[in-house]
Amino acid sequence: MSRAGLGAWLVLAVLMLASIISFVDRQVVAIVVEPMKADLGISDSEIGWLYGVFAIFYATAALPIAMAADRYSRKHIIAAGIFFWSVMTVACGLSRQFWHVLWARIGVGVGEASLGPATVSMVGDLFPRTQIPLALSVFQTAAVMGSGIAFIIGGFVLEIVEQANPLVLPVVGELRPWQQTFVYVGLPGVVLALLFLLLREPQRKTPPQARVSVGELVGFYRENFRVLMFHHLGFLSFALAGYAFVFWSVSYFVRVHGIDAATAAQTFGWIFFVTGPIGPVLAALVAKRLTERGRADGNILAGMVLGCLGVPVVIAIQFVPSALWAFVLYVPAMIFVNSPFGLANGSLPVIAPAAIHAQVAAVYLFVVSLGNLLGPPIAGFFNETVFPSDDGVRFSMISVTLIFGFLGGLFLQLARKPYAVAWRRANEAAA
């Protein structure tokens, strides 16, 4: 059995660094919810839509970028994306009105859409087929660490700038603490974009002249409709519940347990950073063991079981009497909530032709981004209309987690059998 060399893992490490930066820039808005609301005079639902518009354009831009990634230099595509989303993150901090932030978040979404499909394409060429699920699960840990770092650094920066003298820039004028937070976390990506150009482009398994149009993508989805439909809907459901839970976590500690936003963000961030990456790797190892024991549906089964285990933990958090116990339960919650998504991505290249790896990843990205689009606003809607009290956020989390956790488990259960068929068929073709 062939194995990837050190060079492949080093390239993966650089891609992981880019992913960490992307998730810092993506998640920082969740740290500044309360001061942004107070300064701009906006509602929970409008704050949720700052995630929503990001997700719409993140998903919409992914497919054309993926088609380019299946044909042209992936490192150049990623470098351009990093530069653009970093500049747009800084632009969020220079905004004076809600609509200015909204447009800048659209730019962040378009820029970040470059990373996922191009990474799947590169990993498919760097690693042998049997190692792709593990490699993409390891890559997924960077997204988790990036989210944790966003809360750590964002909370730290917010705490510093709240105590410092106001920052006044020429032309722009004075920047409030939440605006400065955006600026400071956006700048490192500009440097990373330049360094990314030094990366070596992996040799493609499929020669460029043999690469195909979107027609093969459509044919692949038509042939595997059942497994792909249930796969996408199952992981979408888990993503919707997970994004809602993570986005409103800092506000949960502020509103329910009376902790200031900076402290809550840093504590939550460290838990996220340390324990969250365990989930994707654990799921990949469980899937690998199941597959080695003859379970052709191992990639789906492992993601389904570990994802479902997060439901009772998230619900238990809402009933604990103190912030200390909530933080304790956040440890298993972060493991299970983050566990399915490395396998969600990694389970697709092993059943798809190499020529359309990036495009398949982009379609899945488009679907699962609806979790980013809908999760925070749905929970925000529950906060305002169904459970409008200060501690209503906990009941919103219970509702969203129960509904979409159940749907995630149900859809993935329905995906298991057709996935096993597709996996065996791909094995025969590879042999």
Name the residue ranges covered by the structural domains of the chain: 10-200+211-430
User: Which residues have C-beta within 8 Å of that of residue 176, sequence separation ≥ 6?
Assistant: 35, 39, 166
As a whole number of Å, the end-to-end CA separation of the chain is: 12
Q: Where are the alpha helices (DSSP H) in 197-277?
A: 214-223, 225-247, 249-257, 261-275
C-alpha–C-alpha distance, residues 267 and 51, integer Å: 22
Number of helices (H), then strands (E), belonging to the chain: the values are: 18, 2
The encoded tokens of residue 35 equal 């001061």
**Structure confidence by residue, pLDDT tens digits, 167-211:** 777 777 778 877 888 888 888 898 899 888 888 888 877 665 455
Q: Is pLDDT of 1 > 50?
A: no
C-alpha–C-alpha distance, residues 402 and 429, integer Å: 40
- Provide the greatest CA pair distance for the chain: 66
The answer to whether the CB of 402 falls within 8 A of the CB of 311 is yes
C-alpha–C-alpha distance, residues 319 and 334, integer Å: 17
Write phi, then psi, for 237 (nearest 5 degrees): -60, -45
Mean pLDDT confidence for 6-30: 86
C-alpha–C-alpha distance, residues 69 and 120, integer Å: 10
The CATH number assigned to the domain with range 10-200+211-430 reads 1.20.1250.20
**Structure confidence by residue, pLDDT tens digits, 351-399:** 988 788 888 888 888 888 777 778 877 888 888 888 887 788 889 999 9
Q: Is pLDDT of 48 > 80?
A: no
